[in-house]
């Protein structure tokens, strides 16, 4: 009996030692895990700091840190990320969450509704922004805070599937986003470093906007799949509110001196006459961008619904691989890369004429549209998606630079409001055309139609440009001839009403 107790005590001691050893091992493993986690966190933090320093080194290069351009780039990148969160959150609730046959109605309704506020953008939003030039930082912050509140309202409408609230909220976000873009473009000359051109500065902002959106989209897609659209909209709300606070901290010199609060009726009439007479250079750039946006809107909705309807067998080369989602993904990637390349080329073209850039982008779009209409296939559609996005991005950057150079500060925001409204209306009109032609399941007919329109527009702009250049050259020759007349018959001074 005593031997049994001794054996039991020995077993108990061994079990105790085993438990103690296991506890010590568990403690050591936990300590090692904590140390590893701490080291991984420190490495991640160091990596994030390096990325942040490298990013700031780029954004603050060429004197952008002194003028405020660097802060504007960071602000615009954050604003773009917020818009990307909203877009991803709404995509699964309004557009792609519906069957194809049912999606056409809401998409067409959305396109038609967007025409109304942009028709009001030019006569109201632009002049309001010009009126409050002394508080542009707060105007930009207001557009961000407003989007945050709209995201809160849309999040509440996701559960009951309140399409009216979702459409109204999306529309408000779109208008406020355009108002922010107008304000950002208007203040660009005030933050421009001495050794950077306007085209390059605009391109640098656009590059960071596209990169920020490209990073935010997959993150938002994963969070939306995990948490849902309503939660994603609430995250977007927080993002907009934080970025809005950052907008208030922009340098004070982005605000122009105070202007008179009230203007006589005659002064307001003169203001609108000045706004309507933007000059042939701005008009030419707007015309080229209008045609590119028309084709861009057409191409987006035409290809989207043709692929979803499976009415384009020339796009689905191999059904085992190139199914609907893969095809749409290819087209979306091509468009995204095209926009990035366009911004990169604009940043590179430091000394090139923005007037020439706008015409070249339209010419490239025309040639691509004609070639795609003749050799229509999956890869032709990918190519035209890339080139259209490239031309649209590069042409818009050149247009912004032209407006910033040619238009005075007193009506610059109003002019940007007019151009944004015209380009948006053109894009909407092109989207409606693409939506209708997608019902015919005839890709070649739609592309040929748009190619003819683009070609006619390009020829018209080239003819007008040639006439304008000839008129300028003739006027210069007359002035030179008048100034070099013989001294015995001196010319009358230029500007003499009797001359």
Rounded to whole angstroms, the Cα distance separating 314 from 305 reads 14
Q: Where is 301: in which H helix or E strand? A: helix 280-308
Chain segment 440-484, per-residue pLDDT in tens? 666 677 778 788 888 999 999 999 888 888 888 888 888 777 777
Q: Residue 389: how many CB atoms within 10 A of its CB?
A: 23
Rounded to whole angstroms, the Cα distance separating 107 from 303 reads 14
Chain segment 87-143, per-residue pLDDT in tens? 888 876 654 554 555 556 666 666 666 666 666 665 666 777 777 777 788 889 999
Chain segment 234-261, per-residue pLDDT in tens? 999 999 999 999 998 888 888 766 544 4
Residue 44 pLDDT: 45
Three-state DSSP class for 145? Answer: helix
Q: Please determine, for residue 30, whether its predicted confidence score (pLDDT) is greater than 80.
A: no
- The domain ranges of the chain are 62-197+205-256, 277-478
Class of domain 62-197+205-256: mainly alpha
Rounded to whole angstroms, the Cα distance separating 409 from 286 reads 19
Rounded to whole angstroms, the Cα distance separating 264 from 414 reads 18
Determine the average pLDDT of the residues in 289-293.
92
Tell me how many degrees the CA angle 269-272-275 measures, rounded to the nearest 5: 155
Residue 162 pLDDT: 78
Distances (CA, A) of 460 to 268, 368, 418, 457: 33, 19, 22, 5
Rounded to whole angstroms, the Cα distance separating 156 from 162 reads 9
Q: Please determine, for residue 265, whether its predicted confidence score (pLDDT) is greater than 50.
A: no
Q: Please determine, for residue 498, whether its predicted confidence score (pLDDT) is greater than 50.
A: no
Q: Please determine, for residue 149, whether its predicted confidence score (pLDDT) is greater than 70.
A: yes
Chain segment 294-353, per-residue pLDDT in tens? 988 888 888 877 777 665 555 544 444 456 677 777 888 888 899 889 888 887 766 567
The C-alpha torsion from 281 through 283 and 289 to 292, rounded to 10°, is: -120
Tell me how many degrees the CA angle 488-489-493 measures, rounded to the nearest 5: 130
Which region holds residue 210: left if phi is over 0, alpha if psi is between -120 and 50, else beta? alpha
Q: Please determine, for residue 489, whether its predicted confidence score (pLDDT) is greater than 60.
A: no
Residue 240 pLDDT: 96
Q: pLDDT grade, residue 166 (50/70/90)?
A: confident
Determine the average pLDDT of the residues in 54-78.
81
Give the residue among 252, 245, 146 at the shortest CA–CA distance from 190: 252
Contact 280, 468 (CB under 8 A): yes
Give, to the nearest 10 degrees, the angle between helix 354-374 and helix 198-227.
50
Distances (CA, A) of 407 to 69, 101, 154, 174, 410: 20, 46, 38, 25, 8
Domain 62-197+205-256 identical in fold to domain 277-478: yes
Give, to the nearest 10 degrees, the angle between helix 100-120 and helix 412-437.
160
Residue 423 pLDDT: 86
Sequence-ordered list of residues with C-beta below 8 angstroms from that of 101, at least 6 positions apart, any chain = none
Residue 6 pLDDT: 58
Residue 264 pLDDT: 46
Rounded to whole angstroms, the Cα distance separating 95 from 93 reads 6
Rounded to whole angstroms, the Cα distance separating 130 from 487 reads 50
Rounded to whole angstroms, the Cα distance separating 37 from 305 reads 48
Contact 334, 389 (CB under 8 A): yes
Distances (CA, A) of 107 to 159, 221, 330, 336: 20, 21, 22, 21
Give the sign of the dihedral formed by CA 389, CA 332, CA 232, CA 72: negative
Residue 80 pLDDT: 93
Contact 309, 99 (CB under 8 A): no
Which of 188-197, 347-356, 438-447 bottoms out in mean pLDDT, i.e. has the lowest? 438-447
% of the chain with per-residue pLDDT over 90: 15
The total number of residues shown for the chain amounts to 499
Rounded to whole angstroms, the Cα distance separating 331 from 296 reads 13
Domain formed by 277-478, architecture: Up-down Bundle (1.20)
């Amino acid at each position: 009996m005593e031997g049994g107790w001794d054996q039991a005590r020995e077993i108990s001691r061994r079990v105790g030692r085993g438990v103690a050893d296991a506890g010590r091992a568990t403690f050591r493993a936990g300590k090692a895990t904590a140390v590893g986690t701490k080291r991984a966190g420190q490495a991640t933090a160091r990596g994030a700091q390096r990325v942040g320093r490298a990013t700031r080194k780029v954004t603050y290069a060429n004197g952008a840190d002194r003028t405020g351009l660097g802060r504007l780039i960071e602000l615009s990148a954050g604003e773009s990320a917020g818009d990307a969160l909203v877009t991803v959150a709404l995509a699964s609730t309004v557009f792609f969450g519906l069957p194809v046959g049912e999606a056409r109605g809401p998409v067409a309704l959305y396109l038609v509704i967007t025409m109304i506020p942009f028709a009001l953008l030019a006569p109201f939003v632009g002049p309001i922004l010009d009126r409050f030039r002394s508080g542009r930082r707060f105007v930009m912050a207001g557009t961000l805070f407003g989007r945050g509140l709209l995201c809160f309202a849309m999040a509440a409408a996701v559960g009951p599937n309140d399409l009216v609230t979702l459409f109204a909220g999306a529309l408000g976000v779109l208008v406020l986003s355009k108002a922010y873009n107008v304000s950002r473009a208007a203040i660009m000359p005030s933050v421009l470093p001495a050794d950077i051109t306007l085209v390059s500065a605009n391109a640098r902002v656009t590059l960071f906007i596209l990169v920020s959106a490209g990073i935010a989209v997959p993150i938002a897609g994963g969070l939306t799949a995990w948490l849902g659209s309503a939660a994603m909209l609430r995250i977007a709300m927080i993002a907009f509110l934080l970025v809005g606070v950052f907008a208030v901290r922009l340098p004070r010199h982005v605000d122009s001196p105070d202007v008179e609060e009230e203007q006589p009726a005659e002064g307001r009439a003169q203001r609108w006459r000045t706004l309507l007479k933007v000059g042939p250079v701005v008009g030419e750039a707007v015309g080229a961008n209008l045609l590119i946006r028309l084709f861009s809107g057409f191409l987006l909705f035409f290809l989207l619904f043709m692929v979803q309807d499976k009415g384009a067998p020339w796009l689905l080369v191999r059904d085992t691989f190139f199914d609907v989602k893969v095809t749409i993904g290819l087209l979306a990637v091509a468009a995204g890369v095209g926009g990035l390349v366009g911004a990169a080329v604009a940043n590179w073209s430091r000394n090139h004429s923005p007037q020439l850039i706008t015409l070249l982008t339209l010419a490239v779009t025309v040639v691509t549209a004609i070639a795609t209409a003749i050799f229509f296939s999956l890869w032709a559609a990918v190519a035209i998606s890339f080139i259209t996005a490239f031309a649209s991005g590069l042409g818009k950057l050149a247009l912004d630079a032209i407006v910033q150079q040619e238009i005075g500060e007193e009506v610059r925001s109003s002019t940007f409001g007019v151009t944004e409204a015209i380009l948006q209306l053109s894009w909407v009109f092109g989207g409606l055309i693409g939506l209708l032609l997608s019902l015919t399941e005839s890709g070649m007919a739609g592309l040929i139609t748009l190619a003819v329109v683009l070609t006619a527009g390009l020829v018209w702009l080239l003819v007008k440009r040639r006439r304008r250049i000839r008129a300028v050259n003739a006027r210069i020759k007359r002035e030179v001839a008048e100034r070099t007349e013989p001294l015995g018959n001196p010319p009358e001074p230029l500007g003499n009403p009797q001359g």
